[in-house]
Amino acid sequence: MGETVVANAMDASSMFWNPALLAQIPKKTVIGVSNTQYHADVRLNYLALSQQVGSFKFGANVLTMDSGEMDVTTEFQPFGTGESFKVFDFSFGLTVAQALTDLFSYGVTGRFVQENIASVSNSTIVFDAGIFYRIGNTGAQMAVAIRSFGFDSSSDGTIERTVVGDPGVVVENSFEQITAPTTFMLGLTYQLFRGSERNSLLLSGQLNNPNDNSESFNFGVEYVWNDMLALRGGYRVGVEEISAPSFGVGLTVPGLGPDIRFDYGFSQLERLGSVHRIGLDIQM
Residue 281 has pLDDT above 70, yes or no: yes
What spatial distance separates the first Cα and last Cα of the chain, rounded to whole Å?
A: 25
Residue 194 has pLDDT above 90, yes or no: no
**Local confidence band at 196 (pLDDT 50, 70, 90 cut-offs):** low
Q: Are 130 and 146 in contact (CB under 8 A)?
A: yes
Q: Which of 69-78, 120-129, 131-140, 253-262 has the lowest mean pLDDT?
A: 69-78
CA distance 125 to 149: 9
Report pLDDT for 197: 64
The CATH number given to 14-283 is 2.40.160.60
Report pLDDT for 83: 86
Mean per-residue pLDDT over the chain, rounded: 92
User: CB under 8 Å to 163, separation ≥6 — which residues?
Assistant: 169, 170
Mean pLDDT, to the nearest integer, of 91-116?
96
Highest averaged pLDDT of the listed ranges 30-34, 152-156, 226-230, 270-274:
30-34
Q: Where are the alpha helices (DSSP H) in the chain?
A: 14-17
Residue 194 half-sphere exposure toward CB, CA atoms < 13 A? 9
User: Where exactly are the structural domains of the chain?
Assistant: 14-283
Report pLDDT for 161: 77
Give per-residue pLDDT as tens, 8-62: 999 999 999 999 999 999 999 999 999 999 988 899 999 999 999 999 999 999 9
More confident position, 190 or 162: 190
Give pTM, 2 decimals: 0.89
